[in-house]
């Protein structure tokens, strides 16, 4: 059986590291990586009006960048929304079948307020 002093000496040399220590180091590295992600996130917020009034709560919103849906959300009781995504650039926000181009910036939140007119195939999302 190895003495505690022998184990400590080996650990200092780096030849043996208990699995618990490796696990803790791995978790610390993962937490550090996750903590850095918000620095690269883009936030988009605003309101959606329908017929001049705040949209009803629960209007589905989808933000697409390229072919990929990068964020989904809904309007609240005041027609407000807030979406956060990793990255920035030109994207499209869709609501109830209508869509509009938006430009995201990961340096500061961007605000886009919209009027949602019509429904279905004739729906239009216009920036205010």
Q: Do 11 and 67 fall into the same domain?
A: no
- pLDDT over 90, % of the chain: 55
For position 84, which CATH number holds?
Answer: 2.60.40.10
* Alpha helical stretches, state H, 1-128: 4-13, 19-36
pLDDT tens, residue by residue, 86-121: 888 999 999 988 999 999 988 899 999 999 998 878
Q: Do 49 and 89 fall into the same domain?
A: yes
Q: Do 53 and 88 fall into the same domain?
A: yes
Domain tally for the chain? 2
pLDDT tens, residue by residue, 64-80: 999 999 999 999 999 99
pLDDT tens, residue by residue, 30-53: 565 445 444 568 999 999 999 889
Residues 123, 96 contacting (CB under 8 angstroms)? yes
Q: Do 58 and 99 fall into the same domain?
A: yes
Three-state secondary structure call for residue 95: strand
- The whole-number pLDDT of residue 37 equals 46
Per the structure, the complete domain to which residue 117 belongs is given by 40-127
Q: Do 47 and 10 fall into the same domain?
A: no
Q: Do 100 and 46 fall into the same domain?
A: yes
Which H or E element spans position 8?
helix 4-13
pTM: 0.67
């Amino acid at each position: 059986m190895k003495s505690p002093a022998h184990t400590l000496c080996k650990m200092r040399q780096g030849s043996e590291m208990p699995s618990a220590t490796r696990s803790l180091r791995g978790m610390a590295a993962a937490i550090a990586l996750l903590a850095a992600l918000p620095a690269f996130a883009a936030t988009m917020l605003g309101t959606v009006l329908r017929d001049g009034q705040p949209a009803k709560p629960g209007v589905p919103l989808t933000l697409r960048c390229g072919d990929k849906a990068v964020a989904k959300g809904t309007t609240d009781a005041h027609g407000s929304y807030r979406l956060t995504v990793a990255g920035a650039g030109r994207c499209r926000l869709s609501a109830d079948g209508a869509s509009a181009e938006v430009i995201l910036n990961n340096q500061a939140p961007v605000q886009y307020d919209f009027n949602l007119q019509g429904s279905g195939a004739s729906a239009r999302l216009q920036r205010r």
